[in-house]
């Protein structure tokens, strides 16, 4: 299956993508994770992306589309994918339709007022890349899965979150209409327990 997760920053795309991609047997492809890895490795793409990400703005379409095109050409994406964080503009969606059009698009819907606390409380494991929330952690510095050190993403500061939300509403939200028009959109309430969101996603894909 070729699947896209759409939704604002903090909607739970990455959290749900881990379980859903394993369930469907397709690779989880996150453009945000790809950029963060490129930044760690100080590649030209990483250096270009960093200034936009630090500001909470979208990386230019040409950079993102070239990176996704290359990733989609890899063997594991031949029989399907779960894209998380791409496309984020109508031009990216048009490019994806040419590369490998999605079968379905799941929009994980969460009201803005819930997103700030989710993002400021997010902690990520530097070792296994697991994502957690401080409200569920006994020790906010240590990964409960692998014992790795947890860190806070640089773009999870309130001012940057505000810019990311603005970018979402102005540039990404129009994709709801784009995919609805193609008959591919499925909407899921993301403002409920993790396990209920997971079940709702699988139910909408049946
Ligand atoms: P990216 O990494 O894609 O960030 P994002 O879309 O802003 O989404 P997040 O990763 O912040 O949120 P999420 O929905 O995955 O939530 P999560 O599951 O972690 O992009 C970062 C940057 O890269 C962009 O700003 C841009 O600069 C650049 N970029 C990336 N792709 C691009 C593209 N295509 N074009 C241009 N630029 C691009 O959950 C968040 C928190 O909530 C966690 O703490 C989690 O534990 C908690 N949580 C999750 N679900 C629930 C629930 N049901 N109940 C309670 N808490 C929950």
User: Tens digits of per-residue pLDDT, 24-47?
Assistant: 999 999 999 999 999 999 999 999
What confidence score (pLDDT) does residue 172 get? 98
- Domain containing 18 — which CATH number? 3.40.50.300
> CB of 18 closer than 6 A to ligand 1?
no
What confidence score (pLDDT) does residue 113 get? 93
| pLDDT, mean of residues 155-183 | 97
Q: How far apart are the C-alpha atoms of 30 and 83, rounded to whole Å?
A: 6
Q: How far apart are the C-alpha atoms of 109 and 21, rounded to whole Å?
A: 19
Distance 139 CA to ligand 1 centre (A): 22
Expressed as residue numbers, the domain containing 11 is: 2-26+79-111+164-205
Q: What is the mean pLDDT of the chain?
A: 97
What confidence score (pLDDT) does residue 124 get? 95
Q: Which atom of ligand 1 is nearest to the CA of 191?
A: 53
What confidence score (pLDDT) does residue 57 get? 98
In-domain check, residue 157: no
CA-nearest residue, atom 7 of ligand 1: 9
5, 6, 9, 154: residue to mutate for ligand 1 pocket, most atoms within 8 A of CB? 9
What confidence score (pLDDT) does residue 45 get? 95
Residues recognised as catalytic: 13, 88, 122, 153, 164
Number of domains in the chain: 1
Tens digits of residue pLDDT in 52-99: 999 999 999 999 999 999 999 999 999 999 999 999 999 999 999 999
CA-nearest residue, atom 39 of ligand 1: 12
Q: Which residue has the tokens 């401080």?
A: 134
In-domain check, residue 57: no
Distance 97 CA to ligand 1 centre (A): 23
In-domain check, residue 21: yes
> CB of 37 closer than 6 A to ligand 1?
no
Tens digits of residue pLDDT in 111-138: 999 999 999 999 999 999 899 999 999 9
In-domain check, residue 173: yes
Distance 9 CA to ligand 1 centre (A): 4
* Percent over 70 (pLDDT), the chain: 100
Band the pLDDT of 177: cuts 50, 70, 90.
Answer: very high
Band the pLDDT of 160: cuts 50, 70, 90.
Answer: very high
> CB of 31 closer than 6 A to ligand 1?
yes
What confidence score (pLDDT) does residue 122 get? 97
Q: How far apart are the C-alpha atoms of 14 and 17, rounded to whole Å?
A: 5
Distance 101 CA to ligand 1 centre (A): 22
> CB of 133 closer than 6 A to ligand 1?
yes
β-sheet with 104-109: strand ranges across: 28-30, 81-84, 2-6, 104-109, 185-189
Tens digits of residue pLDDT in 188-206: 999 999 999 999 999 999 8
- The DSSP string of 9-64 is TTSSHHHHHHHHHHHHT--EEEHHHHHHHHHHTT-HHHHHHHHHHHHTPPPPHHHH
Our measurement of the distance from residue 193's CA atom to the centroid of its chain's CA atoms, rounded to an integer in Å, reads 18
| pLDDT, mean of residues 173-187 | 98
Band the pLDDT of 108: cuts 50, 70, 90.
Answer: very high
């Amino acid at each position: 299956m070729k699947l896209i997760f759409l939704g604002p920053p903090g909607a739970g795309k990455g959290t749900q993508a881990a379980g859903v991609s394993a369930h469907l047997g397709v690779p989880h492809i996150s453009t945000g994770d790809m950029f963060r890895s490129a930044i760690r490795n100080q590649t030209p793409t990483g250096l270009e992306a960093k200034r936009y990400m630090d500001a909470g703005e979208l990386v230019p379409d040409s950079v993102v589309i070239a990176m996704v095109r290359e990733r989609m050409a890899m063997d594991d994406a031949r029989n399907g994918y779960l894209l998380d964080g791409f496309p984020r503009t109508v031009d990216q969606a048009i490019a994806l339709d040419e590369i490998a059009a999605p079968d379905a698009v799941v929009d994980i819907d969460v009201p803005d007022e819930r997103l700030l606390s989710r993002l400021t409380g997010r902690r990520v494991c530097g070792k296994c890349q697991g994502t957690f929330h401080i409200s569920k952690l006994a020790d906010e510095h240590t990964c409960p899965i692998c014992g790795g050190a947890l860190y806070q993403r640089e773009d999870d500061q309130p001012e940057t979150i505000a810019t990311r939300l603005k970018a979402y509403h102005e540039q990404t939200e129009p994709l709801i209409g784009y995919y609805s028009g193609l008959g591919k959109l499925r909407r899921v309430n993301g403002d409920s327990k993790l396990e209920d969101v997971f079940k709702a996603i699988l139910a909408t894909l049946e």
